[in-house]
Amino acid sequence: MGTIKVKKTGVDKIFDRLNILLWIIVLGIVLYPLWLIIIASISDPDALLTGEVLFLPVNPSLIGYEAVFQHRELLRSYANSIFYTVAGSFLSVVVTMMAAYALTRKFRGRKFVNMYIIITMFFSGGLIPQFLMNRALGLYNTVLLMIIINCVSVWNLMIARTFITTNVPNELYEAAAIDGTDHFTYFIRVVLPLSSTIIAVLTVYYAVARWNDYFTALVYIRDRFKLPLQTVLREVIATATSVDSFFDAYADSQGIINALRKAQVAKYCCIVVSTLPTVVLYMLMQKYFVKGVLIGSIKG
């Protein structure tokens, strides 16, 4: 059978064109700030200060990137963020999947446990009780805290539970139980291989959240050797004093001027460098990210 072609009226064609035009404008509004940051990071500092950089880079220069990659604290914090993101995301995905599987099993009090977990989405003890508890546990100013804090997102847990419920038939467990398989073996050999999609989704969610997290280190970390990239970047962008620390001390006025010129461009370079990993992650995991949104829309 051939496809049925619907003839569009003049009003339909006008609507389609206006709709396309509207979304082109929206796309431009969204992309322009990102494009401006990129071209500003490779433009001449003087052109940036005078406001000449609008749509294309002016007198392209890599002076900002040279200053950024020469800064030891930034590179160290970059390595810290990679470690916190990888280790923390791995732990979060493992704990979330285990908890989600447990919530799909039938046991006495399951409704109460589900309700108890969901309540934490809307109510919490607050920052001060959490800070006092972590300090009492000896986690203050430690690398371990950066990995285990915010380990499980209730929203992600509900998404994982819904996925397992709808995509892993209970008949598989019944068949495995007849063969004498326990819950742990069934989870490792059956549930996890069938949950690659949701595992990828959780990895994206947790990795992006941990990579962008600056507040946790701002509250709990005092040793600058343990600070993540985003916390250092916040200092760089928020205060000119922190930006000046990127460069060596200068005795003459010309040296100070050169340092300030570098600092203006270095702000944009820092944003590009810190954003690049999340952009790459979204590009590689885009299809899983879309599936995650659809999974979250399923009632379960």
Please spell the DSSP secondary structure of 178-201, one letter per residue: HTT--HHHHIIIIITGGGHHHHHH
Helix 196-212 to helix 286-296 angle (10° resolution) is 100
Residue 288 parent element (H or E): helix 286-296
Distance CA 122, CA 137 (A): 25
Q: Does residue 266 contact residue 243 with C-beta atoms inside 8 Å?
A: yes
Extract the residue ranges of the chain whose pLDDT is less than 70: 1-6, 46, 236-263, 285-300
Number of other CB atoms surrounding residue 255 within 10 Å:
13
- pLDDT for residue 291: 61
Calculate the CA 105 to chain-centre distance: 31
List CB contacts of 172: < 8 A, sequence separation 6 or more.
Answer: 186, 190
Query: Token pair 């397992």 is at which residue?
Result: 164
Q: Pick from 77, 86, 80, 87: which is nearest to 233 by CA?
A: 77
* Domains, the chain, ordered by start: 65-296 (1.10.3720.10)
Distance CA 157, CA 186 (A): 19
- pLDDT for residue 92: 93
- pLDDT for residue 300: 46
- pLDDT for residue 242: 45
- pLDDT for residue 87: 93
The alpha helices in 123-248, defined as continuous H runs, are 127-136, 143-148, 154-167, 170-178, 183-186, 196-212, 215-220, 229-238, 240-244
- pLDDT for residue 93: 93
* Residue 264: both structure tokens together: 């203006």
- pLDDT for residue 112: 86
